[in-house]
Structure 1
Amino acid sequence: MITRLLCLLMALAAVTPPAQASAVTAKCGEIGWTLALKSSLADLVRTDFEASQSDWVQGGSWSTYVTKDGKPHTLIRTDLGERGRRELRLTILRDGDYAITVTTILNSGNIFTDDVYEPIDTQTRNFCYEAGKLDTPDFLSGGEAEMAPDPYVIAGEDAKRTMLLDRDVAAFTAGLAR
């Protein structure tokens, strides 16, 4: 029974089109919140600007996306380094919930010294937040997770700090729960 259900869910995910910018309505725990992180940004108004602070060698930048009526939708932070880059994408879901995906790309060489400079490894982690609280996978629930935080929880809280607390984007994220 469980195998059939998993097969059905995988088949549904394979044929479900990406969510459109105006149709992001999933909440944490619902099938589809990860699709919101891949939703098209084509119909949104984009603004780009440099980050005032970055721990990465080549610095960082922000891209904000708002709907045509001015509502915040998506925020992207990109940091560039000698051997790769990191991109964080925050997408606002319904009722003030939000999701963040963190993608880190490691390149084959150093941007300053090597002729070959192509991606060799990509790592992506998705996080969902309800009322500002990280929605943790079931295997992390209970007292053990609270006594010794899992790397997933640590990475999720770091992503939240980066995307919500930076003064560069404070106005954009003002309505989101911390």
Structure 2
Amino acid sequence: MEKIEGKVWKFRDSIDTDVIIAGRYLRTFSLDDLASHVMEAEDPKFAEKVQKGDIIVAGWNFGCGSSREQAPVALKHVGVSAIIAKSFARIFYRNAINIGLPVITADVEAESEDIMCIDLENGVILNKTSGNEFKIKPFDQFMLDILNNGGLVKHYLKANEE
């Protein structure tokens, strides 16, 4: 997997799935409609301002609450390339990996607008704005393959083509 680089969007502790995508929007089958409301409880203009490749940095317990798969799907569809948080709800973490959205458990120093570079294979996160470097546990090859293939289902299908 190539390095992930993008602008930081910083969020607080305990961002739950209803904050990521409110339940009232779950009736749509359009990913564009769903993504247009992502994180609006925290920043009503987030979906308009976020750029493809941007990175979310958050505190403890990101993705807590319900097991709705639409939360990581909406974040990925709007262009978020990775999420770094001090901890994740287990189901959110698994749902994110299943759709090919990298989630990294780490305590990093970053502010909104900083530029971060993430190297999952070598276990390094660099805040290019501050120059601070953070070591993380490198992702193993199996996880990298799932992410590189776009998620668990695509990984399975690719593995069974051969």
Q: Tell me if TM exceeds 0.5.
A: no
- Which structure's CA Rg is the greater one? 1
Please, what TM-score do these two structures have when normalized by structure 1?
0.27
Larger RCO (CA within 8 A; separation ≥ 6):
2
